Structure 1
């Protein structure tokens, strides 16, 4: 099961590789629909005609996009009407899914090891920094390998 999950994560990272630079894309203040429509010199009436709706409905779509309350269905319809392909997805904020898992595993391992070490210190049995770092690294590897559900708590 571990190898299958690892393979799935690697495949996911490969599929999303073309989207890694999307973090550099800034969403226009007036939204994509308005920005693209005006760049193409298309009026709200013209887009409304393509969508078989009114100018006011187009204005609502544009406003809803800016507010973040537009539906995926509406975005797809607008894309079709403007001869565009609508694309959506999720990409990790920093690097790949593998990187995300590594970061989460290290944070969880550090939390567990430091909490345990604190209790051991109170009993006079704490470990040194070098051993502490090694233990964190080992536990992080184990957490990542097992892909514990606690990784996402």
Structure 2
């Protein structure tokens, strides 16, 4: 994907993800399986029968979900048995654009620090305004460069 395609994909995903309510999708304390099962008034034995598994398997499944040790396949099967749809998503802690901007700024700051150190050794320390301009230029160069290079460790 080139830079413009990446930027467009990020914008489209930001728009789609902005509709998600983080609080609404936060995992209930005992997990989604148990929360939905109990809200439906369904016993573990009844869910087990609907899934075609043993009663102890439901206990194990609910415990595995709570400890993040379950699979998407198991979650999907439980959801279907309760007439639900499993929705799987990564919900960023901010906009994707903000994440990229912060990363570019961090890389620019790291590069500027090295540059400033070299210039200080040569007794050519730039002024604050020059440093700010260079920081902005570096950040913009990083954002306009190959998107994957943004995530290379320096």
**Poorly superposed stretches of 4+, deviation over 4 Å:** none
1:76/1:150 CA distance change after superposition, 3 Å: same
CA contact (8 A) 1:117 1:127 kept: yes
Aligned Cα root-mean-square deviation (Å): 1.7
Per-residue displacement from partner, 1:15-66 (whole Å, max 9, x unpaired)?
A: 32222x3267542221111122122221000100110111100001001001
Alignment of 1:103-122 (within 5 A): 103-122=102-121
Q: What is aligned with 1:126?
A: 125
Counterparts of 1:3 and 1:30 in 2: how far apart (Å)? 43
* TM-score (structure 2 length as normaliser): 0.89
CA contact (8 A) 1:16 1:91 kept: yes
Counterparts of 2:24 and 2:127 in 1: how far apart (Å)? 42
CA contact (8 A) 1:120 1:126 kept: yes
* TM-score (structure 1 length as normaliser): 0.90
Displacement of 1:99 = 1.1
Identify the range of structure 1 (83-92 vs 10-19) with the bigger mean alpha-carbon deviation. 10-19
CA contact (8 A) 1:23 1:93 kept: no
Counterparts of 1:3 and 1:26 in 2: how far apart (Å)? 33
